[in-house]
Structure 1
Amino acid sequence: MRVVLADDAVLLREGVRSLLEDEGISVVASVDDGEQLLEAVAALRPNLAIVDVRMPPTHTTEGLEAALTIKRTYPDIGVLVLSQYVLRECATELLGTETVGVGYLLKNRVTDIDRFLESVQRIAAGGTVIDPDVVRQLLNTSEKQNSLSALTPRENEVLEAMAEGLSNRGIAERLYVSISSVEKAISAIFDKLGLHAGETTSRRVAAVLAFLDQS
């Protein structure tokens, strides 16, 4: 795997670089602003870009804007956005692109090395990963509770785990239920959210987007 890193915090950037390279992942560029990021992605075509939300010059949403540009221009390149805080707007805008290979994690997740590396691999392979804290905030808004009122508590738990990118087996292990129970819950979620077989967008991703879109 080939990765481009973009973060103006040198210590974090170099820490992530060291972590990835220790796992045999090649960091082909390490930059500190959105413009350099876009140039590196265009020139090197990595498998994954790991991007800080806030970078120079204004330290607002330069990283997010660059991430969205990457997904529009190179949809096959995975994008993992890192943030210091829970910014629901960033998560919804990024995931609202309805493309595959996207992720939104809080920076403190980097310290959970195994889980962070699992997220990197999953996004590079076309999966979707959302930070658990972001998922919980999205599910706890009053608007969201209304839109998901048809789901049972168990189905809400399964949907939250889906949003984090867990496989059916991973969901079963987390919730201590059988895989068949997870499959039944997911089928019920699809039915209640009106996600029918044959739609062009992956129903699994669409189920996640169903509650992100209204946050």
Structure 2
Amino acid sequence: MDKFWAHLIKVQPDPDPLVVVISAVVALALVGFRMPWHLSRGLITIAHEGGHAVMALLTRRKLEGIRLHSDTSGVTLTRGRPTGPGMVLTALAGYVAPSLLGLGAAWLTEAGRISLLIWGVLLFLVCMLLLIRNLYGALILLVTGGAVFALIMYAPAEVQQAVAMVAVWFLLFGGVRPIIELQRKRRRRQARDSDADQLARLTVLPGGFYVFLFMAVALASVVFGAYLMNPL
């Protein structure tokens, strides 16, 4: 346990500035182009539904399970009062979760705590696996968790650092695109049950306000995350 703890809190040296730039470009390409985004968007959905689940637990709602679907959508099932602060906070947490997770990961990366970050991601995936309620969701979590575990066990420290930085940038950039997609669907009236529209029914504020709030948090996270990751 002493060796594991020492490994967990080990501080890695600062990355090469070129690695930081390349990792940002790779993550931006994953988010910006259609095919890579379609293949990787499920990771953002995991963070999104994880945000709902964590907030439901924090507000003492009964968490009944999580479903992840092959079209990269997902749903978190909770039970409790259909209105009130707990329901509002649970609905709010989804779209901001990837960005806030990315910001927290950027802080750990800037501090050189790469091992702590990767083990934290693995723990998060294991906890979600215990709550998953469909076969596809379990499969995608097992594949993702297996890849993270392989990274821990077999990849050298430099590779772990590079992959962690790509993941941080991906969370930061990937937190923005689903909000843009949400607003496009709302304009076409194709998202009547979206988080923003559920919040509008729960509160006196319109759905557009919550889309703006989601985007403000996402963009602020990109700015502060980029500041933390700035090699200069």
TM-score tier by shorter-chain length is under 0.3
Higher percent of residues as strand: 1
Please report the TM-score for the alignment, with normalisation by the length of structure 1.
Answer: 0.25
Higher percent of residues as helix: 2
Please report the TM-score for the alignment, with normalisation by the length of structure 2.
Answer: 0.24
